[in-house]
A and B are shown apart, each in its own frame.
Chain A
Amino acid sequence: MHLPDGLMPVEMALAGYAGSGLLATISLSRIKRLPDPSSVVPRAAMLTTVFFAASLVAIPVPPTTVHLMLAGLLGVMLGWFAIPAILVGLFLQAVLFGHGGLTTLGLNGLILGLPALLAFGLWRSAGRRWPDLVALCAGSGAVVLALVIFAALVLAGMPAALDARAEQAALWVFMLAHLPLVLAEGLIVLVVLRVLRRTAPQLLPHG
């Protein structure tokens, strides 16, 4: 769910860079407060690579196949590292594969970064008490929030000459088409976190 190049006005693209820059600055300042931030870099990089690779795999979710976003899982597992990881992933996708966009990198950073932080906050505040419910909400909620931000940005950025009602209808169709992804991501985050809680609890922030 990336905004491609050429779709959004330059002013919005620049505002997206400012927003993502702010998010990155906050995240990096929180990361620097860790006892030894450098030691976490290899772990964050390896996990980022898994997320990046897993999002490239198409999985069958009838009636179609989907590419996972994994923003919720990224947020839960990487915490504040999720923002730099997402920005790096988006940049590499844009320059190496032509996915997403160079001008829309900042906006795409917000579309994936804010849901990841939501999932992180959810897991940190209630993950210990209701792990399964929170995992499901973090996975599905992250996709829903990403869809809402995506739709809001497209509505704000489309040319004024276009028919607003038709544009809204198209966005509704787009959002409904992503319903399987909402369910699939919730299920995947639930299963992954369940497996990790049993076999590798040290991988989760709450152990």
Chain B
Amino acid sequence: MADPACSPILLSARARLVVAFVLAFGFASVQSLVMVPVLVAIGAAGLLASGMIRHNLARLRGAALLAAGFLLILPLISGQTELASLGPVTLYLEGAQAGALIAGRLLAIVALTLALLSPVSPFDLVAGMRALGVPSLMADLAFLTLRYMQEIAGQLSRGQLARRLRGGKTGWRAVPDHAFLVASSLIRAQLRSEQLWAAMRLRGYNAGLNAPVAPLGPLDWACISGASVLAVALFWLDRSL
């Protein structure tokens, strides 16, 4: 049942993707506030079992901020039943409940997704997508995007730094400068893509991603079954409470 506890090395990327989707939808189907601590506990267990706690916690920061926003704002703006009143500020029960439910589901799903998928290498992730039936064009797009992401992000940030060092404009006047930066990156990317296409044809395009897919192992099947049972159990428990 404890899918996140499966070894991060042994479980295939394909199984990880299936487990992540099954559990994400299982968590998203929860509507009872009582179940939220269970979801959060499973998400936290997943993070701990992933072995990349610091890395995943850093990536969880955005989701945590968003969850805090839901927790803080919804009780202030929505609901009919007064929970507490602090001067002009009134907190409402329905808003607080909805905020806690949304924040709990959000954090648990993102934590589990990161725990399951962040240890997977980009190539394995794309190969896993392809093996699950994602069209080859999209899998190739994903792979090449991942392959060149760091390089192009680096180019853009160097361009921004250069603009700042030259005493670039600020505020609204910086927007056209940013557009010039994007345009020059697009032109460079076009030139690079021509070289890339020539290299891909020489190497035999698609040979990597279309290679025969290894069948799922017993551990993969065990984790997928465990995740499915857990998702159904969460749904059933949620509806019966």
Q: Mark B22-59, 1 if CB is under 8 A from A, else 0.
A: 00110111000000000000000000000000000001
Nearest opposing residue in chain A for B108, CB measure: A6
Give the chain A neighbours of B98 by CB distance below 8 A.
158-159, 161-162
Residues of B within 8 A of A121 (CB): none
Contact at A191–B179, with CB atoms within 8 Å?
Answer: yes
Residues of chain B at the chain A interface (Cβ within 8 Å): 20-21, 24-25, 27-29, 59-60, 62-63, 66, 73-74, 77-80, 92, 94-95, 97-98, 101-110, 113-114, 117-118, 125, 129, 135, 137-138, 140-146, 148-149, 152-153, 155-157, 160, 170-172, 174-176, 178-180, 182-187, 189-190, 192-194, 196-197, 200, 205-206
CA distance A97 to B62 in the complex (A): 9
The interface residues of chain A lying within 8 Å CB-to-CB of B190 are: 43, 46-47, 200, 202-203
Q: Are A7 and B160 in contact (CB-based, < 8 A)?
A: no
Q: Which of chain B's residues have a CB closer than 8 A to the CB of A195?
A: 179-180, 183-184
Contacts of A99 in B (CB 8 A): 62
Verify if A133 is at the interface (C-beta below 8 Å from B): no
> Once bound together, how far apart are the Cα atoms of A4 and B193, in whole Å?
33
In angstroms, Cα B223 to Cα A138, docked, is 46
Contacts of A166 in B (CB 8 A): 77-78
Of all chain B residues, the one with the shortest Cβ separation from A139 is B179
CB distance from B173 to the nearest CB of A (A): 10
A196 to B184, CA, bound (A): 9
Q: State the CA gap A42–B197 with chains docked (Å).
A: 6
